[in-house]
Structure 1
Amino acid sequence: MSEDIKTRPINYLNCTFGDMHEGEQLNFVCLDTTCKEMGLICPVCRSQKHAKHKVIPLKIFLADISINVNGKQNQNSIDQLLTQLDQVRAKLLSSLKETVQKMVLQIKLLEDQINLSHKNTRQRLLEQNQTQMNFPQIFQQILNSQYKNVDQLKQDVRKIIDNVSQQQAGKIEIDFKPQRLFDQYQKASQESIAQFNQLLGQFKSSIYKISKPIEKFTLPLQAQNSTNYTFSSVLKSPSINIIEQKNAHQTTNQNSENRFILIEPQILESCKIGIKITNLSNFIGIGIAYKNVLLGKNMKFDHQNLGHGSYMISSNAHTWSHSKKEENMIQKSFTFTTGDIIIVEINLENKILKFTCKNKPNDNQATILTFDNPDNDDIHFCINMCSSGEKVEILDDLE
C-alpha cells in the first residue's frame, strides 16, 4: 500500500486563500500541534506561516500513515474497546449512584434531626409558658400541702427548677424566659446554615475535581476550537471600537446604553472561547446573547428585566439571565479583573454555559448557567463593557 501511494499521481486541490496563494496546490501537511492552521497547506502557506513548523509533503504523509495503519489494524478490536468503554462508563455511574444514595441517607437523618429539634424546642416553649401561668397555683398548693400524689409533686417542682436561676450565691430567682430558649435555638440554626453553605462550597469543589479528569471528553469533538472568532463590525454598540478584529475597546462611559458587542460567527455547535481582560475599569460582562433581541433593544443592557437577551457573568461576581429570575442580577459567580482569561464553554445539547478563569484555576469554581433555545434567533458570544478604557481580546490559543 505504501509503495503504491509513492508511485500514484495525486490530483491536488488548490489553496483557497487567494492573492499569492492563487493556483498553488495543497501538497504539504503541517504537523505542528501548536499551529491553529495545522493540516493541508500550499507552498506559499508554508513560507508565510509555517516556516518554523514541522511540514512534510502530503504524499509522504499518506505513505507513512498507510504503513502504520496496516501494521496496527489487527490490534485491539474496536468491538472489544467499545465494550471496555461501556464498562468504564457503567463503573463511573455505579460509583456516582452509590455516592448519591449514601448522601441521601445522611441528608434524611439530618432532616429527621432538624424536625425533632424543632418539635422538642416547641414543646419546651409551651411547657415553659404553661409553667409560668400555673406557677402561682402550684406554689400555693405546695404551701398548703394540697398534693396527694408524690410523683405529681416531684414533676411540678422539677418544672419550677427548670425555670430558676442562681445568679447570686445563695439566692434563687424565677427566670421564665422563653425568648432566651428561642434565641439559643435560632443561634444554633444559623450556625448549621453556615455549615450548609460551607459544605456546598466544598461539594462544588469536590465535583469540579472529580469531573476535571474527564472534562475534555465531555463536549463533542467539534467543540475543540477550530473556529476563527472575531468581533463583529456590525453587531455592536457605536461607542465600541475594534482593533484588528480580535480586540474591542469601549470609548465612553455608559449606563445601560451602548455596551454590547457580539462575536462572529454565530454559534451553531457546542464550542468554547477564551476572552482576555486587557483592561477593567468598572464592569465587563462575558457570555452569550440573542442577536435579534439585542438589535431590537438597540444593544441596550436592560438588565433589571428578564428578556434582555443575554446570559453572562460579570467582573463583580454577578450572573445575568435572559429567562431565569433566580440567575439574573444575582451574586453567584466569581470576580475577575485585568489580566484574567475567562473561558466560556457552551453545550447546545444540554443548554449549559460554563465559565472558568484559566489563569486562576484554584481561586474560583466554575460557574454554570442554563439557557433556553431562542425563538428564531441566532446565538453569539458577547461582551458587555460599561466604562471608557475597558478592553478585551479574543484568544486563539485556549491551551
Structure 2
Amino acid sequence: MSEDVKSKVMNYLNCPLGDMHEGEQLNFVCLETTCKEIGLICPICRCQKHSKHKVIPLKTFLADLYTNVNTKQNHNSLETLLQQLDQVRLKMLQNLKDIVQKMVLQIKLLEDQINLSHKNTKQRLLEQNQTQMNFPQLFHQILNMQYVNPDLLKQDLRSMIENVSQHQHGKIEIDFKPQKLFDSYQKASQEAINQLQISFTTFKQSISKIAKPIEKFTLPIINHNQTNFIFSQTLKSTTINIQDFKVAIQQVQQNNENRFILIEPQIQESCKIAFKIQHLTNFIGLGIALKNVLQGKNMRFDYQTLGHGSYMASNNDHVWSHNKKEENMVSKSLKFGVGDIVILDLNLENKILKFKNKSSQNEPISLTFDIPENDEIHFCVNMCGVGEKVEILDDWE
C-alpha cells in the first residue's frame, strides 16, 4: 500500500441513518456487487445489513486503489480502446450484413421455386383439360386409323396414356382428375408453409441466443443509487409488447383479460419509480401487484371483487385495492393523461404507496397494502386500450 495514504489521518463523515447509527463514522466500504447499498457504510450498517458481504476499511480501499492505479501499466489508452470498440461493432455489423445477404439469396431461390411450381401445375391443369375436351375426337381418329403421320399418332396416344390408370390387372380406366392434382399441390404448399413458420420460430430463437451474450450491455445506463427497473419479458400479458426494456405498449383492445405487465426486479426495500404516459385511449392503472396472485389469474383484472392482486391508481380518478373494500374502485382525486409523469413512492416498512402527478399541484394520494408471506410485490402497469403506451423514467427530477 502507498505509505502516503496509509499514514494519512482521515476525517470520516457520520452515518446519516440516525437511531443506533447516530455518531457512527462511515469508515467501511461494501464491495458486494449484488448489494443495493454498495459503498460507504458505518459499523452498525455492517452488522445489520452487510454481515455476509465483502467489506473492507475505507482507508484500505483507498490505499489499495491508489497503489493499483499508480503501479499498473496501462497498455491500452482510452483512444485505442475506443478504436477497438468501433472495430468490434463494425465486425459484428458486417457479419450480420453478410448473413442477411445470404438469407436474401436463399429466400429468392425459394421464391423462384414457388413461382415455378405454380406455373408448372397451372400448365398441367390446362393440358389435362385440353386433353379431356379432345379425347372423344382422338379416340375416334385412332379407332378409325385416320392418321397418316406415325409420330403424330404416338404423340396423341401418349397424351391419352398420361390420363388413364390401371386399378386392376388388365383393366384400364380414364383418370381425368384436375381436382386431385390441385389437392396434391395444395397439400404440398401447406406443408411448405408449415415448415416456413417453424423456420421463423427457430430463427427468432437463434436471434435471441445471439443477442444473449451482449444483452447486459444494452441495458440503460442509470444512476447506481437507483434501482434499474425494467418491464418484465415474462411477467406480462401476451398482448403487451416491450421496447428497449423501458416502454410497454398494449396491442389489443381488452376487457378484463391481458392487461397487466410487471416491472422487475421485485420490490425488497422502500423505493420510488416514475412512469410517463405516452399514449392513452381508455384506461391505464399504475401501482404494485402481487406476482403469484396475478399469475394464478393469468394476468386477468378481476377489479369488482377483492383479491384481484393489485394496488393501483388509474387515470379515471379511481384507486384499486387487493384487500380493502373502502379503497377499491373508489375516487381519490388523482387524474393523469398523455404527457404526465406519475411518481410512485413506496414505503415498505409502513406499507404505504403514494401517488403523485408531477404536473399537478395537488397533494399525493396514498394506499395501504399488505403482502402475503408466500408472495412478492412488483411495480405494475395495467393497460386496457389498444395503442396505450407507458414509459419507465430513469430521471424525473
* TM-score of the alignment, normalized to the shorter chain, above 0.5: yes
In the alignment, structure 1 residue 284 sits paired with structure 2 residue 292: no
Conserved in 1, the CA contact under 8 Å of 2:260 and 2:299?
Answer: no
Provide the TM-score with structure 1 as the length reference: 0.60
22-31 or 110-119, which deviates more: 22-31
Any stretches of 5+ residues in structure 1 without a counterpart? 230-254, 269-273, 301-373, 382-388
In the alignment, structure 1 residue 376 sits paired with structure 2 residue 396: no
1:52-71 correspondence runs (5 A): 52-71=52-71
Aligned equivalents of 1:284, 1:58: Cα separation in 2: 47
1:157-168 correspondence runs (5 A): 157-168=157-168
Counterpart of 1:207? 207
| CA-CA distance at 1:61 after TM superposition | 1.2
| CA-CA distance at 1:108 after TM superposition | 0.6
1:344-359 correspondence runs (5 A): none
Conserved in 2, the CA contact under 8 Å of 1:32 and 1:54?
Answer: yes
Query: What fraction of aligned residue pairs are identical, expressed as a percent?
Result: 64
Are the structure 2 counterparts of residues 173 and 297 from structure 1 closer, same or farther at C-alpha, using a change threshold of 3 Å? Answer: farther
In the alignment, structure 1 residue 393 sits paired with structure 2 residue 396: no
In the alignment, structure 1 residue 137 sits paired with structure 2 residue 137: yes
Aligned equivalents of 1:299, 1:188: Cα separation in 2: 56
1:268-283 correspondence runs (5 A): 277=292, 280-283=295-298
RMSD of aligned residue pairs (Cα, Å): 3.8
Aligned equivalents of 1:225, 1:278: Cα separation in 2: 30
Are the structure 2 counterparts of residues 223 and 101 from structure 1 closer, same or farther at C-alpha, using a change threshold of 3 Å? Answer: farther
Matched residue type, 1:78: L
> Alpha-carbon deviations, 1:98-153, whole Å to 9, x = none?
11111111111011001100111111111111211221122222223333444443
Aligned equivalents of 1:261, 1:103: Cα separation in 2: 35
Counterpart of 1:97? 97
Conserved in 2, the CA contact under 8 Å of 1:260 and 1:299?
Answer: no
Are the structure 2 counterparts of residues 33 and 65 from structure 1 closer, same or farther at C-alpha, using a change threshold of 3 Å? Answer: same
Provide the secondary structure at the position in 2 that maps to 1:154.
helix
In the alignment, structure 1 residue 265 sits paired with structure 2 residue 273: yes
Are the structure 2 counterparts of residues 177 and 378 from structure 1 closer, same or farther at C-alpha, using a change threshold of 3 Å? Answer: farther
Provide the secondary structure at the position in 2 that maps to 1:5.
helix
| CA-CA distance at 1:395 after TM superposition | 7.8
| CA-CA distance at 1:51 after TM superposition | 2.3
Provide the secondary structure at the position in 1 that maps to 2:339.
coil
Provide the secondary structure at the position in 2 that maps to 1:222.
coil
Counterpart of 2:219? 219
Provide the secondary structure at the position in 2 that maps to 1:37.
coil
Matched residue type, 1:265: I
Conserved in 2, the CA contact under 8 Å of 1:6 and 1:59?
Answer: yes
| CA-CA distance at 1:376 after TM superposition | 0.6
Are the structure 2 counterparts of residues 225 and 15 from structure 1 closer, same or farther at C-alpha, using a change threshold of 3 Å? Answer: closer
Number of aligned residues: 280
Are the structure 2 counterparts of residues 91 and 262 from structure 1 closer, same or farther at C-alpha, using a change threshold of 3 Å? Answer: closer
In the alignment, structure 1 residue 197 sits paired with structure 2 residue 217: no
Matched residue type, 1:295: N
Q: For the pair shown, which has the larger CA radius of gyration, 1 or 2?
A: 2
Conserved in 2, the CA contact under 8 Å of 1:27 and 1:42?
Answer: yes
Matched residue type, 1:29: V
Are the structure 2 counterparts of residues 190 and 275 from structure 1 closer, same or farther at C-alpha, using a change threshold of 3 Å? Answer: farther
Aligned equivalents of 1:149, 1:299: Cα separation in 2: 94
| CA-CA distance at 1:265 after TM superposition | 0.9
Provide the secondary structure at the position in 2 that maps to 1:29.
strand
Provide the secondary structure at the position in 2 that maps to 1:165.
strand
> Alpha-carbon deviations, 1:64-107, whole Å to 9, x = none?
11110111253322222222222222222222111111111111
| CA-CA distance at 1:206 after TM superposition | 1.9
Aligned equivalents of 1:24, 1:150: Cα separation in 2: 115
Counterpart of 2:35? 35
| CA-CA distance at 1:224 after TM superposition | 8.4
Matched residue type, 1:83: Q
Conserved in 1, the CA contact under 8 Å of 2:32 and 2:53?
Answer: yes
Aligned equivalents of 2:342, 2:107: Cα separation in 1: 40
Matched residue type, 1:140: H
Any stretches of 5+ residues in structure 2 without a counterpart? 230-254, 264-271, 277-288, 302-311, 321-336, 345-371, 380-397
Conserved in 2, the CA contact under 8 Å of 1:279 and 1:392?
Answer: no
Conserved in 2, the CA contact under 8 Å of 1:267 and 1:379?
Answer: yes
| CA-CA distance at 1:11 after TM superposition | 5.0
Counterpart of 1:339? none
Provide the secondary structure at the position in 2 that maps to 1:40.
strand
Conserved in 1, the CA contact under 8 Å of 2:294 and 2:300?
Answer: no
